Amino acid sequence: MTERKETDSGGVRISYLKEYRDSGIPIILLHGNGEDSSLYSDLIGMLSDDGFSVYVMDSRGHGMSGKVDRLRYGDMADDVMHLIRHERLERPILFGFSDGGITGLLLAIKYPDALGRLIVAGINLSSDGIVLWARLLLRLIFLFTRSDKLRLMLTQPDIRAEQLRTIDVPTVVLYAEKDVVKLLHSETVAENVRNGELIRLEGHTHDSYVRDNTKLYELLADHIREE
């Protein structure tokens, strides 16, 4: 049974879904920019049926979590660490898509003992990791909307190779052939973390394989079952 819960992280309400299994290995799922926990509505059951305890956060400023004046990936990483401590999770697996993947990388850098395994998809290490046409489009939309979610994408993150080298948990990087982020950034992660693997997905766009929860489950299954 999936339960909606919430906790307070530094004064910000963090809402999350919890599908708990006794003795189940914990796995945290993080969504991308402008999305929420509903992105994984089917995946939750698939993972639970495999015996995992599943936790799906709404990032701050998204879904049912609290709003903030300014979004920062570092704060999002702190929120995930708060959830890990709040639920007393022992080195959970983390899957993060897009902004969620960036958050996962920062979590592993800042809290090196927090995770047991990391899987990220569709990530960029800086704003120029977004391909030029998409970045120009985001800038145009931002001029009219002043959206803080777009500001986040246009100004952050700033993750360097030397920071990635501090990550020593097994890390899988998923990259779609038709993504709007540059392959170089995924390659940089896979090459610099101590236990990195890059998986290229032919024919897929930035989010096609993530919104297809069955496809995503198939991609995750082999890597998480090793736990």
Residue 226: predicted pLDDT: 59
Closest CA to 216 of 84, 101, 59, 77: 101
- pLDDT exceeds 70 at position 3: yes
The tens digit of pLDDT for each residue in 189-217 reads 999 999 999 999 999 999 999 999 999 99
* pTM to 2 decimal places: 0.97
Residue 1: predicted pLDDT: 80
For residue 3, give every residue at least 6 positions away whose Cβ sits within 8 Å of its Cβ, in sequence order, or none. 17, 18, 19, 20
The tens digit of pLDDT for each residue in 147-186 reads 999 999 999 999 999 999 999 999 999 999 999 999 999 9
The residue-averaged pLDDT of 59-83 equals 98
Residue 22: predicted pLDDT: 79
Residue 27: predicted pLDDT: 98
